[in-house]
Structure 1
Amino acid sequence: MVKAIESYGIPVVHICTIVPISQTVGANRIVPAVAIPYPLGDPAKTPEEEKKIRRAILEKAIKALQTPISEQTVF
């Protein structure tokens, strides 16, 4: 799906828990997530801590969208 969207010139960021899989499927901009069951958070954290985690991952993804790349890149 990532490659299909990018074929139209729309940059995509793949937030993932297992980076090698994203690389194998051809994602160009890869942002690692927290863990498989909770990619954008950690239920053991307080709501405030989880919000910080989510914000950091999303800010990294937005920066990745703005970054010109020429090959697969893990941010």
Structure 2
Amino acid sequence: MVKEIEKTGLPVVHMCNLVPISLTVGTNRIVPTISIPYPLGDPAAPQEEQWKLRYHRVGVALDALAADVKEQTVFKVKI
């Protein structure tokens, strides 16, 4: 679906935890997430830490959206 949307001229960022699958299907902008049930957080972590994780990942996704990419790119995130 990501590739089809990009064909219309709209850039798309795919946030996922299974990066190899995104690479296989040809996604251009990939931002790794944390897990399948909680892609942008960890419910076992304190609320402030969860907020920092989400803020950082969404910030990386926005930067990826604005980036001019010519090939598949996996953007770095803090662990």
Tell me the TM-score normalized by structure 1: 0.96
Amino acid at match of 1:64: A
Amino acid at match of 1:30: I
Percent sequence identity over matched residues?
59
**Per-residue deviation at 1:44?**
0.8
What root-mean-square deviation, in Å, do the aligned CA atoms of Structure 1 and Structure 2 show? Answer: 0.7
Residue 38 of structure 1 aligns with which residue? 38
Deviations 1:5-36 (A, max 9, x none): 00011000000001001111111000000112
Between the aligned partners of 1:36 and 1:3, the Cα distance in structure 2 is 21
Between the aligned partners of 2:28 and 2:69, the Cα distance in structure 1 is 8
Between the aligned partners of 1:9 and 1:34, the Cα distance in structure 2 is 29
Tell me the TM-score normalized by structure 2: 0.91
Residue 63 of structure 1 aligns with which residue? 63
List gaps (5 residues or longer) in structure 2. none
Moved over 3 A (4+): none
User: 3-state SS of the aligned residue for 1:20?
Assistant: helix
Deviations 1:10-65 (A, max 9, x none): 00000000100111111100000011221110011111111110010000000001
How many residues of Structure 1 are paired with residues of Structure 2 in the alignment?
75
